Amino acid sequence: MSSSNLLLQWSSQAATSILIWIVIAVILLYAARKPAHELIFSLCRLIHNALRVAGRSIMIAEKKLADRNREVLLAAGEESVQRLIEREFHRVNAVVSRDLSGYPAFQRSLKDQITRIDEDYQKSVEIPPSPPGWMPAVEAVAKIPPTGDTMVANILKDINKSIDKQHNRAIEEYRKASTVRHTLLKKMMPFWRKMSNTLDEVDKTISGLLERSKFIDSKMEEYEQIRKGSDKAVRTLSSSSMTQFVISGFVLLIAIGGAVINFNLIALPMSEMVGGSSYIGGFKTSNVAAMVIILVEVAMGLFLMESLHITKLFPIIGSMDDKMRRRMVWISFSILFILAGIESSLAYMRDIIAADMQALRQSLADVTASGEVSGSWIPTAGQMIMGFILPFALTFIAIPLESFIHSSRTVLGVCMVGLLRVSSFLLRLFGNISRSAGVMSVAIYDLIVFAPLWFEGHLRGMSNKKGEKADTSVEHVENGEIS
């Protein structure tokens, strides 16, 4: 039976037939009202409980992940602070071994300098000259009364000459002694300067040690906070991880840009070495070879940084003995240097290939090639220098890569915690919506069958009124009998 025949089963008029079908549907829905309500409530309750259980499970997972992120963050922060403290202790040890290990010799040297300065100072002390022994004789002659005798005058003249000679001799000796004293004081200046410089160096060393000790104290306090697992330490480490993630990601983008420039620099000449018409899958062999060279350079840079103990991405390299590690440094640097030389030659070949292609295009276009442009060696030299420097520049990608890897664990953990928290909220929200949807669905269901429900309510109201009247009459009869 087709749908049109089914629709017109009750009457030839479509409107009448549709109305009959609606009445039948309303009667059937009214008859199945109670089980339909139970079905709607059961289904919505099932959805609500399922979403609620899923939300609680996600909240538990979010709490476990948050605790795990906290543990990982504290462990990473503790390791980082330990590395800083160890480095500062090594620096303090180096300063003490270099500067303060010779303190006994320095003390002896300083004592010798002080002794020499003291001796020179004692020698430079000014000693007043002793009065001459003939002064009493001069005083006795001066007391002789003048008599006008020529002999006395001659004697006095001779005494005056002797006194003048003695005075001049005393002055000359005093000047010589002063010159000697000044010479000794002048000789003291280098010792003073040397001692001053030595004391300045000691002061700088002690000041540096004091600054490092303050830095170590601050790091030790931070280390204690991390060991205690305080919220302040967690917030600080989280902020630092976010900052390191952003900065290292930006530096990695710059390094990727340099790798792209390096790839374009050597991809064209590589086609002359491995063939420009061969393919590996859907990629040119020359492009794959250029990419392999760049990746090998990055790998050698990572090994070089690991061997120098700058990064710690490969613990097996850091655990090597010093002899093997030095060999690793030289091997990595040699391979990197050879690859840099190859890239420089490829950059030179690229310029030659570009010039040949330009000449070929000009010959095909019947254009007379102009003479050599002055200064055409500048781009060639620039390409060769760039091809030689870029591999060494890519070596330092290991530093931001390590920081990015270590900080990404914290950042991804925080993002996952946020995602789980949002998912739990959405599940609980949809669970509450499903519960409210059940009530709304029941209301819509009753709205559809409102006519039978209204008729049922009207009948119940009439029966209730009849029952109230019967009760009232019974009460009146009972009251009359009693009275």
Q: Are residues 282 and 218 in the same domain?
A: no
Q: Are residues 220 and 256 in the same domain?
A: no
Which among 195, 228, 261 is the end of a domain?
228
- Confidence (pLDDT) at 102: 60
Q: Are residues 255 and 343 in the same domain?
A: yes
Does residue 92 fall inside a structural domain? no
Q: Are residues 381 and 245 in the same domain?
A: yes
Q: Are residues 204 and 288 in the same domain?
A: no
The answer to whether residues 313 and 302 touch, using CB atoms and an 8 Å cutoff, is yes
What gap in Å lies between CA 417 and CA 421, rounded to an integer?
6
Does residue 466 fall inside a structural domain? no
Tokens of 78: 């503790």
What gap in Å lies between CA 176 and CA 172, rounded to an integer?
6
Instruction: For strands 279-280 and 283-284, give the pairing.
Output: antiparallel
Does residue 86 fall inside a structural domain? no
The 10s digit of each residue's pLDDT in 95-143 is: 777 666 666 666 666 666 667 666 655 555 555 555 555 556 566 666 6
Q: Are residues 381 and 248 in the same domain?
A: yes
Does residue 195 fall inside a structural domain? yes
Low-confidence spans in the chain with pLDDT less than 50: 1, 369-375, 474, 476-478, 480-483
Q: Is 441 helix (H, G, I), strand (E, B) or coil?
A: helix
- Confidence (pLDDT) at 234: 78
Q: Are residues 171 and 259 in the same domain?
A: no
Q: Are residues 275 and 392 in the same domain?
A: yes
- Confidence (pLDDT) at 481: 46
List C-alpha distances in Å: 424 to 60, 93, 101, 156, 336: 10, 54, 64, 129, 51
Q: Which of 124, 117, 118, 119 is nearest to 184 (CA)?
A: 124
Does residue 359 fall inside a structural domain? yes
- Confidence (pLDDT) at 375: 45
Does residue 151 fall inside a structural domain? yes
The 10s digit of each residue's pLDDT in 146-177 is: 666 666 667 667 776 777 677 677 777 766 76
Q: Are residues 281 and 207 in the same domain?
A: no
The backbone region for 278, taken as left when phi is positive above 0, alpha when psi lies in -120 to 50, beta otherwise, is: beta
What gap in Å lies between CA 77 and CA 240, rounded to an integer?
10
* Structural domain total, the chain: 2
Does residue 88 fall inside a structural domain? no
In the block, residue with structure tokens 């840009």: 257
- Confidence (pLDDT) at 118: 63
Q: Are residues 114 and 203 in the same domain?
A: yes
Does residue 252 fall inside a structural domain? yes
| Structural domain of 392 | 231-364+377-396
- Confidence (pLDDT) at 187: 65
Q: Is 280 helix (H, G, I), strand (E, B) or coil?
A: strand
What gap in Å lies between CA 413 and CA 417, rounded to an integer?
6
Q: Are residues 213 and 269 in the same domain?
A: no
Provide the whole-model pTM.
0.60
What gap in Å lies between CA 334 and CA 297, rounded to an integer?
11
